[in-house]
Amino acid sequence: MHPIYDDLGGSDGVRTAVTVMYHRIGADPELAPWFDGIDVDRLQAHQRAFLAAAFGGPQVFTGRSIGEAHHDLAITDAAFDRVVSSLMTALADLGVAKEAVGTVGERLEGMRAEIVTA
């Protein structure tokens, strides 16, 4: 069984998906406030490294744990759902197979308890 990272298109696929996802998030009036004052380029770099590692690609992520990174942000279930949906829609729009998109959603759902703090 090959890693989901390959199904996402490897480094280029993850880079494109993260870029599209953050464009969607920035345009979403319910999500954009969470990113006010954040260095989005730096955040996207962390997100690419995190997703690559989480989905079986290169293990170059050296950031804080998911729980540490989101601890003080008061993220709601609704916001979590919108961000996950943004990523899954971006992947689908980029032609990632439905099964792979579903696997991404399942893996992210498993992180809900560490991210949602409100």
Domains recognised in the chain with CATH numbers: 4-115 (1.10.490.10)
Please tell me the pTM assigned to this model: 0.85
| pLDDT band per the 50, 70, 90 thresholds, residue 66 | confident
| Residue 1: per-residue pLDDT | 55
Q: In the predicted model, is pLDDT for residue 18 greater than 60? A: yes
Q: Letter for the amino acid at 17?
A: A
Region 53-62 average pLDDT: 81
DSSP line for 6-67? HHTTHHHHHHHHHHHHHHHHHH-TTTGGGGTT--HHHHHHHHHHHHHHHTTS-----S--HH
Structure tokens, 70 = 């989101």
Higher pLDDT: 59 or 90? It is 90
